[in-house]
Amino acid sequence: MTEARIFETCDGTLLNVDTAGDGIPVVFQHGLCGDAGQTGEVFPAGQGFCRITVEARGHGRSQTGKLDKLSIATFAEDIASYLERHRSAPVAVGGISMGAAIALRLAVKRPDLVKALIIARPAWLTSAAPKNMAPNAEVGRLLKKLPPDAARTTFLAGPTGQHLAAEAPDNLASLVGFFSRTPVDVTAELLTAVSNDGPGITDEEVKRIGVPTLVIGHEQDVIHPIAYVRALADRIPAARFAQITPKALSRAQYVADFRLAMGHFLKEL
């Protein structure tokens, strides 16, 4: 059973909180321009865990609030506020892509709230504006200056679109979907602001994370390099690395592998 509720942030922005399942709570966050559907697809449902996804500002059914507050730090602060008000912390916290960056920041900045960490397909290590996020930023810039259809055509014909078509078709499919996402101005701002952002932490802080950690990734992913997955697994002392099937090869197997890796990890906590 899936349930939604509303959480009001410190500045009055209303966020949608999507929960599913009964049991031990696990906060699991979606990626950039994603929503709770992304996390729900890969979460190990029916295994004694309750998935909690707080849809970030400007995502899913959540309000956007002020555009200049769209950042990884703000999204992490919203999760911290939600946990402080509505859950008995610490809890397991994780996420996919941007959600992984949010979870990583929480583990560093608010270790009192995090008892275990799941980092899936990370798009950031510690630096802001990593090169792998440049395609997302490019889509955002095009949406700011061109109508969506023209922006899409320009992107697909350009070198980035051509490269992704050959090397990472799943990444390209996600990016193409952004051209039809609404509201356009919010999508453009999210893609430019967050792609040029970072988790705001240091390598030394990552090395001091002391909770059990699962790091998940796969090959054929330009936006979420498997080198990042291995780097985080190496830096975090209590981390384990799970390599799963690329979505570009088989989405069904990707989902099955993801659920299996998460399920095994959570049951051992």
3 state SS of 222: coil
- Coil, strand or helix: which one is 205? helix
Count of Cβ atoms closer than 10 Å to residue 7 Cβ: 18
Q: Point out which residues pair with 27 in neighbouring strands.
A: 52, 93
Per-residue pLDDT of 95-129, as tens digits, reads 999 999 999 999 999 999 999 999 999 999 999 99
Neighbours of 127 (CB within 10 A): 12
- 1: pLDDT confidence band, cut at 50, 70 and 90? very low
Whether the pLDDT of residue 208 is over 90: the answer is yes
DSSP 110: -
Whether the pLDDT of residue 64 is over 90: the answer is yes
Question: Per-residue confidence at 46, pLDDT binned at 50, 70, 90?
Answer: confident
Phi-psi region of 200 (alpha: psi -120 to 50; beta: other; left: phi over 0): left
Phi and psi, residue 33, nearest 5°:
65, 20
pTM: 0.96
The domain segmentation of the chain, as residue ranges, is 2-126+198-267, 131-192
pLDDT at 89: 87
- Pair 154, 146: CB distance under 8 Å: yes
Domain 2-126+198-267 has CATH 3.40.50.1820: yes
**Beta strand pairing call for 49-54 and 213-217:** unpaired
For the chain, the helix, strand and coil percentages under 3-state DSSP, each to the nearest 5: 50, 20, 35
The answer to whether 222 touches 164, Cβ cutoff 8 Å, is yes
Separation between Cα atoms, residue 231 and residue 27, nearest integer Å: 23
pLDDT digits (tens, 9 = 90+) for 236-250: 999 999 999 999 899
* Bond preceding residue 169 cis, omega within 30 of 0: no
Backbone angles phi and psi of 208, in degrees to 5: -95, 0
Q: What is the mean pLDDT of residues 27-44?
A: 98
